[in-house]
A and B are shown apart, each in its own frame.
Chain A
Amino acid sequence: MDLVLDGLAKAIALVVHLDPEVAGIALLSLEVSGLATLVSVVLGVSLGAAVALNQFPGKRAVVAIVNTGMGLPPVVVGLFVSILLWRNGPLGFLGLLYTPAAIVIAQSVIATPIVMGISISALQALPAALRTQILALGATRAQMVWMLVREARLPLMAGVMAGFGGVISEVGASIMVGGNVRGYTRVLTSATVMEVGRGNFDVAIALSLILLGACLAINWCLTAIQQRERPR
């Protein structure tokens, strides 16, 4: 019990005094996961719309694959991105392994199927006649897609939150492709794992608190955006 209380007290002190190293780790985490979420939203929503709004042979198989991708284990993603970015790998010439960019790539691979899967179901849940109605109002095809996305914004934002939650909390891929390099690729989750291994529970608790706080703050903002345009 002492361990917990002591750890908690030290953790709060670390957070309050904002240890520069801890602050740097938190900032990098937000940057990397924020960027990965952004990439996944651009790819996931547009690909999701393309799948949801078009009929093509093999559509069911594509949806099944995307749905499977929603549960991709981060270590598996980490492994494949590592192989791709390995010095002798197909993209080794880019020299991205063990850089923050590598973590962004891995996390984008994790989040994109989540955002895409939720986008597909969100757009498919809209009434089929709504597309006809929007076109009949004089919309171009692009305007129609945009209006459908707006109409599905509640579940779509839920998809964004799920994507962000998935990547800010993953650790396997970050360690594998980022290497947990101090001051360079160390993020909240990889740092927490490391500190627990060293027995520094106070730092680990501090990092966890920051992680929870960051998740809460980001999701609170996303929820505000999600609910903003809904008339009372």
Chain B
Amino acid sequence: MTSGGPMLEVRGLQVQRGGRGVLDVASFHLGDGEFVSLIGPNGCGKSTLLLSMMGLLPRAAGEILFRGEDVFSGDRVARRRRMAMVLQEPLLFDATVHDNVAAGLRLRGLGREETRRRVGYYLERFRLGDLAQRSARKLSGGEARRVSLARALAVEPEVVFLDEPFASLDVPTRQSITADLERAIRGSRMAAVLVTHDRSEALRLSDRIVVMNEGRIVQSDAPSVVMNSPVNEFVASCVGMETILPGEVVRRNEWEVAIGVGGQEIDAVAEASVGEQVYCCVRPENVVIEVVNPTLTSSARNVYLARITRVASVGPYLEVRLDCGFPLVAHVTPDSFALLRLEEGKRVWASFKATAIHVIRKRRASAAAAGPAPANESVADGAASTQR
């Protein structure tokens, strides 16, 4: 065992499927007790990366080191037994809840007493105490997820890989299970890698967020950095910046720039030179809709007359699409929507602050996307080390 170094280290990993490259990760590190979320579109290699780190997928090239040892060499089973994994489906055995949670411990030949103690502890941790003798076939979706999490954590691994363990659960169940999982993991020294499509989950749980696209790591940073300073437009769209507008810097005044977009100008606080091609990224929650012109009453630098082009219900709020000369997306609550008597085709005023815009310089974005991932990782290491 090496001390001080990362628990898990991936270098130049390439994985192929059917002769086609599906994973190309230049560098990835995971420290003891660190919680990392992997986000990215379907098929971008997140699950493949987890399976590879677990030593369950053959690689075409590269190294995966667990405590300094290659996961494909030596006693692979013994090494795998220091890790755990929860897949998208609970995949419970046709046995009682108790026996499911005990499965990993029995595979390790743990004594009867210790098995019973540990199973009891993890059943309580995941609020399954009353269901111990119930058939795993007769559980609700949420209960089955709890059992699969308890089964993985009961072996007390050094790292747990969570491959969308909350997929297809309703919001309250998801939140309750997430809270229990967070408590269980934070209460130990276990490291975790979570694959998720839920940004709020990633934000809430992670020390670091890794964004993947087409088998590569695009950005790896502290959650606040990824959410507020995405390195390119792909990451911006991944982290919920629904309005991403290509434009050109037309004016510059110290920290403030004016960006020409679709015949309009957007004021933003950013570092960019006149003539530079950029993307303006605006989060829908930062856009304010008003029915009277707020120019004289608001501190927002960007105010536009807009027409509502489409309204859609998105969970607890409404997504309002606007045409301001450029497309803009805003989120409003149903109450505000009703109060302002909003409807498709109506003319309104849309505003957002200059400080609420994230500007991505195209040159930098393309360089970051094409550049080697270790550069991103070194940023990430610094960010991660400040987290705990």
Contacts and interface: CB of A to CB of B under 8 A. Distances in A.
Given A132-B87, A137-B107, A143-B107, A231 B151 contact: no
Contacts of B322: none
B135 A136 contact: no
Nearest to B133: A231
B155 A137 contact: yes
A231 B96 contact: yes
Contacts, number: 63
A90 interface: no
Q: Indicate the member of B99, B104, B107, B133 with the most A CB atoms within 10 Å.
A: B107
A222 interface: no
A230 interface: yes
Interface residues of A, number: 21
A135 B55 CA distance: 10
B87 A137 contact: no
Contacts of A127: 89, 91
Interface stretch (B78-86, B111-119, B183-191): B78-86
A123 to B, nearest CB: 14
Contact of B54 (A136, A147, A150, A229): A136
Interface string B270-311: 000000000000000000000000000000000000000000
Contacts of B155: 137-138
Contacts of B342: none
A139 interface: yes
B182 interface: no
Interface string B103-137: 11001100000000000000000000000011111
Contact of A138 (B80, B87, B137): B80
A151 interface: yes
B340 interface: no
Given A129-B89, A130-B91, A132-B51, 20 more contacts: A129-B88, A129-B91, A135-B56, A136-B54, A136-B84, A136-B161, A137-B84, A137-B104, A137-B107, A138-B80, A138-B84, A138-B108, A139-B77, A139-B107, A140-B77, A151-B93, A153-B94, A231-B96, A231-B133, A231-B135
29 contacts: A127-B91, A129-B87, A129-B89, A129-B91, A132-B87, A133-B91, A135-B56, A135-B80, A136-B54, A136-B83, A136-B84, A136-B85, A136-B87, A137-B104, A137-B107, A137-B151, A137-B155, A138-B80, A138-B84, A138-B107, A140-B77, A147-B103, A151-B94, A153-B94, A229-B95, A231-B95, A231-B99, A231-B134, A231-B136
